[in-house]
Amino acid sequence: MKYSIARYWRERHSHYRLKAVRCLDCNRVNYPPSTICRYCGSKNLEEIELFEQARLLTWSVIHAATEGFEDYKPIIIAIVELVDSKVKILTQLTDIDLDEIKPGMLLEPVLRRVSEDDATGIIQYAIKYRPVLKRGD
């Protein structure tokens, strides 16, 4: 068993939302969230969600997957910069072929299944990024 049902329930919000805090004094976004602004030291913070489009900065392709993730090969891990907040995050790309990947491409967040625990019946999801779909796609 990877997770107990109780632990999974307690942590569900952190898995399904990109939470951060915005400093109300210097207006900078702190991700991951903290209780003190890492830029100015203020404790005057508000919680925000960063579910926004991103631009691809760099990526790496993993061809050898660990047990349980063989169906996801190749795994594309990327560093993206969120368009509005300018926060850089490490994420996984999905719904894309390797030859389509280009620096600077516009991406959007999507919720995707990551794993399933047969013992508890828990299906785990995570936020991944895919190319922005054009109208009609």
Residue 58 counted as domain residue: yes
Q: Is residue 117 part of a domain?
A: yes
Whole-model pTM: value is 0.81
Residue 9 falls inside a structural domain? yes
83-135 pLDDT tens trace: 999 999 999 999 999 999 999 999 999 998 887 777 777 777 889 999 997 76
Domain contains 126? yes
Residue 109 falls inside a structural domain = yes
Mean pLDDT of 37-59: 96
Sheet with strand 19-23: strands edge to edge: 29-30, 19-23, 45-49
User: Looking at the 3D structure of the chain, how many domains does it have?
Assistant: 1
From 50, 130, 125, 131, select the one nearest 89 (Cα to Cα).
50
Q: Would you say residue 136 lies in a domain?
A: no
Predicted confidence (pLDDT) at residue 15 exceeds the cutoff of 90? no
Q: Is residue 116, in this structure, part of any structural domain at all?
A: yes
Residue the block writes with tokens 């691809």 = 56
Does residue 137 form part of some domain? no
Check pLDDT > 80 for residue 27: yes
**Residue-range definition of the domain harbouring residue 126:** 5-131
